[in-house]
Amino acid sequence: MGTPPMNPRKKVTIGTLRSLHRRGEPITMITAHDFPSAHVADAAGMDMVLVGDSLAMVALGMEDTSEVMVEEMLLHCRSVARATKAAFTVGDLPMGSYEIAPQQALETAIRFIKEGRVQSIKLEGGKEMAPTIERITSAGIPVLGHVGLNPQRQNALGGFRVQGKTSQGAVKILEDALAVQEAGCFAVVLEAVPAEVAAIVTQKLSIPTIGIGAGNGCSGQVLVQVDMTGNFPPGRFLPKFVKRYGDVWAESLKAIETYRDEVKSREYPAPEHTYPIAPQELEAFADSVKNL
């Protein structure tokens, strides 16, 4: 599907990401949930593509991320992996698939690599998840950490609330980030954290930080593709940190409404959208119909 790029990019690897970090060049990351969304993200030059559990809401219509199952995530990972020829891919472990024990988490991570065809996995949690992260990384599977706001734990947090707004909270975020770094994460997502706190945490770490609602002092940024492209109806709530770069909903709506109208008026399909038949063949067919 689609035309290969004229100058295909080299495959982004862990080494590429580390090189970008050393040079101080921001790392770009975006979510994707199927072949088309991954195809365009890869073509646009994203360094990393995340198959986030946010697809539960933006692709599957669920109430929150806690509903999505491993098998559903694996299906979407495979779809994304077929399109990402250059970007480094990350699969999000869904709630309930890694918290029970490090061995459970490793088994799930292996499925994401083998069945989902992604190159790394992401899981939420700080110090308490360090043994789990160490178990996975010791098996040779790269892990992207996630501290600050953990959406999978939003019920315990009282909703989607900014984290690290007090000195004690900020210290906890730093301690969590240091713990997942020590456990072997190649990078860590900082979500919904004051920009000043995220910048200090970034300076204290030796691995990249990927911010989402954490200011531009992070080593890179990630956004949910559906949010930033405007692929949603008017009136939908958006987090403060989201910048809408397009209006895919309006363009799609306009195109589909025009198609509807042209079908109703028989304007579509026009002659240029149909296949010809030689006059003599048409005549022979008409004669055959008469004789039926």
Choose, from 72, 107, 134, 191, the residue flagged as catalytic.
Answer: 191
**Which among 78, 75, 41 has a CA at the least distance from the CA of 60?**
75
Q: Is residue 191 annotated as part of the catalytic site, yes or no?
A: yes
* DSSP state at residue 8: P
Beta-carbon contacts of 88 under 8 Å, excluding residues fewer than 6 positions away, are 12, 13, 14, 16, 17, 47, 48, 49, 119, 120
133 neighbors 112 (Cβ within 8 angstroms): no
Residue 187 pairs in a beta bridge with: 144
Distance CA 11, CA 85 (A): 7
Number of Cβ atoms within 10 Å of the Cβ of 85: 15
Catalytic residues, which ones?
191
